[in-house]
Structure 1
Amino acid sequence: MAEALRDGGEAGCGPRDDVAAGTPEDERARLLARARQARDGGDSAAALSLWDEALHRWPEHVGRDETLAFAHSLFAFNRPRRPEDALLPPHAAETLARLHSSWPEEPLGWIGLAKLAEWRHAWPEARAHWQAVLDRFDAVAEPDWYEQAMNAAWMNHDGAGFKALRVILRRRWPGHETWWDRYASGGRAIAMSGAEPRHGPSLRDVEDLLRFATPAEARRVLETLSPLDQGSATGRACAQIIRTVERSGLMEDLAAGGADLARPATSFVWRNSAGADRALIVFAGGGRGFWPLVDELHRVLRGCGTHLIYLRDLGGSFYLAGDPDLGIADYGGVLDVLRAQAAGLGATRLACLGNSAGGYAALRYALDLGAEAALAFSMLTNPQTRHDPQVSPALNAIARRNPGLVLDLAQAYAAVPRPPRAILCFGEGHEADRREAERMRGIPGVRLVAAEGLAEHGAIRWFLRRGEVPGLVASLFEAPSA
């Protein structure tokens, strides 16, 4: 889709295909007129491409009005989209930087810096820019600015900052409904009540519904979107997830087991009639990939004789940053939720299971919940030792705000007189995963299990395909040898 903008948009709307010969001033005027015409006609992609060319080719003639018009259209067009789906003309960053430097009295120039950071997934930078917007333009601030600043704070794992922004927003605009109110607090206005959101249905809504709600609710919104959105990378990925899960029967089985699918949020329970006093807490990940993994796991775990508590990591925080559905912005709050859920099931014996980041969480939570054992696949045992651009920023942000929360599990388990028993599963040929598991070799109660010949990170599916997961789960509740 970005290529479409670079080529001038859709269906022959290239910016220069019918510009008549004339002076540069005439050509520029025609481009700007066509941009306004495309905008007024609802063709935002073409309008952005035309503005982009006019503002880039004649920078010496660029004025505030057309620069602001470009910025308004750019933000409005991309506002409902995820950063990875943003459609940016080639010179958008250049124009937004000029807006900020040449007309610093205009909020949109400052907002442009925040949006550019969001589109690069540079969340600490985006959080700082949004705070600068709110500090400098407090007198003319809009609730939508606070909403976007809240999102940047959450993505930066700044739970305290998120809560503070939410308090201010509610105090200044008590009637304003945010994405948080619609999804995380159970409103889900689009799918549940049929009400239209303020910006109209979008891919953002589809992904939020896959994260916070159910595939059926996500499908209903996806079907209302334009072919452009449905055909995007995110749209196709969401459609595949929805089809797979809806055909599997997973949702019907979870509902039959008592799961509250109208509000599944970060955690929900499945009551097993044969579960007795055992509960398995499953750290199944977050984002739109949550339901496919739960689908694969549930087919196996439902026959293991335990109640099941499924969790997902909505903030990409190794399950350490809290539960946005319940307004909990700390690790201790989630521990309390899990204890209450286990008690509600009548479970006095607990074990944890997790994959990847969830593997770290399974081992971490098992310590503080007093669980008997933990089963971890492709886990990290000390995330702060990994200089991975997908891992380090999240963990560093959490560690800065919560000293002592991000633990080296090898040290933590070695320091406890009777730690939970732990089974660490990893790909034999995956150097990083093997190294992380080897760090805990020799600690009492720790068992390492290598997937022979596997050089990939996703060891959990290797063990699922071979039917070895039920035996591993059963061993979690076996009494340790004397």
Structure 2
Amino acid sequence: MPPRTPIDPEALRPSARIHAASRLDASYLAYAKSIAHGNSDPKLRLEVCRQFVRCGMIGETVAMLATLMDVRDLRGSVTEIMGELRALRRARSEDHLFLPAAGIADAGAKDRGYWVVPADSDTTLIAFAGKAQLLGLSIYFMHSLLGRLNANLIYLFDWSNNFYFGGVSGLGGSVDATVERLRGLCAELKSRRVLCLGQSAGGFGALHYGVKLGADGVMTFSPILLPVTRGKVRERIGNRIGRSLTDADTQLREQIAAAPRAPHIEIVYGTENKADVASARYLADLPMVVEHPLPGVSDHGTIQVTVANNTFGPLLDSFVRASGPGGWRGGDQSLSCDSQ
């Protein structure tokens, strides 16, 4: 049996840092208000609109877009954001069921990098935030989407931006220590099926940890894979965590291929983003990998793209169905790659 680790009651509330990463602070909102007029740089206003969309702020986005309607050079971008707003309204129609109540943030343990949301389910989904500490969209907005799943949710944040090689604050200072704590959390949640989800750098984390956890399935959106396997990115991570990374640490393809129980893997990426295509190709011929190329898409933020075109939900539902009926054996050490 996997080790039983009681869930800290405080972990059931997002830490102050998670709360801050998922919202726009007062200074940014003041800045947005200061440029909400026709004499300011329209490109700055457009970027504010994009930030509002990522945080699910419908009314604020509409108000700022109104200042851009007559900017000819930005009509295409404005039309794109309006499409995202329509998707946002659909996705948020039942937000009140899933979003945390005001003041839920835990003022203690400010740097804790995980948040547990039980659902009395035998399926647990572990979501790995990317470099901006988002899943393409703010964690609260994503929770309004993922909350519709019949799954326990564990949100993870990599405050050091080291592709999760430094572990997760509050769960351990290394990959192995964090994996052991995650096994305990999943066991405490009585998980029979464990799934992982991530975008960008979080996609690398989802694959790496998913293999070591013996997860049933891993879904990644535009995962950054190849840059971590060699060169300056790998060297920079090693310098930050205090030890050099080896091929055995970073070569996910070999780890997945050698795993006694490799997860079902799905990769979503835009066909016009060369870096994302290359990372997808790195895993493409493995038998457990399913690709979802998005024709004509160059955007790295493919979660946001699929939410906007109303395909995120169907993709996620299909992934959950394809990842098996359960039977997770996270306590069996032989199921995790010994790459660390």
Q: TM-score range by the shorter chain?
A: 0.5 to 0.7
Structure (1/2) with the larger helix percentage? 1
Q: Which of 193, 199, 219 is matched with 1:349 structurally? A: 193
1:334 aligns with 2:178: yes
Structure-to-structure mapping, 1:271-282, within 5 angstroms: 271-273=118-120, 276-282=121-127
Q: Which of 147, 161, 166 is matched with 1:321 structurally? A: 166
Q: Give the Å deviation of 1:255.
A: 3.5
Q: Which of 426, 432, 453 is matched with 2:275 structurally? A: 432
Structure-to-structure mapping, 1:293-332, within 5 angstroms: 293-325=138-170, 328-332=172-176
Q: Give the Å deviation of 1:435.
A: 1.1
**8 Å contact kept, 2:127–2:196:** yes
1:448 aligns with 2:254: no
For residues 153 and 122 of structure 2, what CA distance do their matches in structure 1 show? 11
1:401 aligns with 2:243: yes
Farther off after superposition, 304-313 or 391-400: 391-400
For residues 215 and 146 of structure 2, what CA distance do their matches in structure 1 show? 18
**8 Å contact kept, 1:245–1:291:** no
For residues 334 and 414 of structure 1, what CA distance do their matches in structure 2 show? 23
1:372 aligns with 2:216: yes
1:473 aligns with 2:316: yes
Q: 1:210 to 1:471 in 2, by over 3 A?
A: same
What is aligned with 1:211?
17
**8 Å contact kept, 1:281–1:350:** yes
1:266 aligns with 2:117: no
1:384 aligns with 2:228: yes
**8 Å contact kept, 1:285–1:355:** yes
For 2:125, the aligned partner's letter is L
**8 Å contact kept, 1:285–1:311:** no
Q: Give the Å deviation of 1:440.
A: 1.2
For residues 415 and 426 of structure 1, what CA distance do their matches in structure 2 show? 25
**8 Å contact kept, 2:222–2:270:** yes
Q: Give the Å deviation of 1:398.
A: 5.6
- Any unmatched runs of 5+ in structure 2? 1-9, 36-43, 59-91, 326-340
- Any unmatched runs of 5+ in structure 1? 1-185, 187-208
Q: TM-score, normalised by structure 1?
A: 0.46
Other structure's SS at 1:401 match: coil
Q: Give the Å deviation of 1:384.
A: 3.2
For residues 453 and 217 of structure 1, what CA distance do their matches in structure 2 show? 31
Other structure's SS at 2:173 match: coil
Structure-to-structure mapping, 1:170-249, within 5 angstroms: 211-214=17-20, 219=25, 222=27, 244=55
For 1:461, the aligned partner's letter is Q
RMSD over aligned CA atoms reads 4.0
**8 Å contact kept, 2:196–2:210:** yes
Larger radius of gyration: 1
**8 Å contact kept, 1:379–1:433:** yes
User: How many pairs were matched up?
Assistant: 260
Q: Give the Å deviation of 1:408.
A: 1.0
Partner deviation per Cα, 1:172-227 (whole Å, 9 max, x = no partner): xxxxxxxxxxxxxx9xxxxxxxxxxxxxxxxxxxxxx973444799857x59xx99
Q: TM-score, normalised by structure 2?
A: 0.63
For 1:408, the aligned partner's letter is Q
Q: 1:445 to 1:294 in 2, by over 3 A?
A: same
Other structure's SS at 2:280 match: helix
What is aligned with 1:4?
none
**8 Å contact kept, 1:375–1:476:** no
Other structure's SS at 2:291 match: strand
Q: Give the Å deviation of 1:324.
A: 3.4
Q: Give the Å deviation of 1:471.
A: 2.9
Q: Give the Å deviation of 1:397.
A: 2.4
Q: 1:286 to 1:458 in 2, by over 3 A?
A: closer
Structure-to-structure mapping, 1:58-137, within 5 angstroms: none
Q: Give the Å deviation of 1:333.
A: 1.9
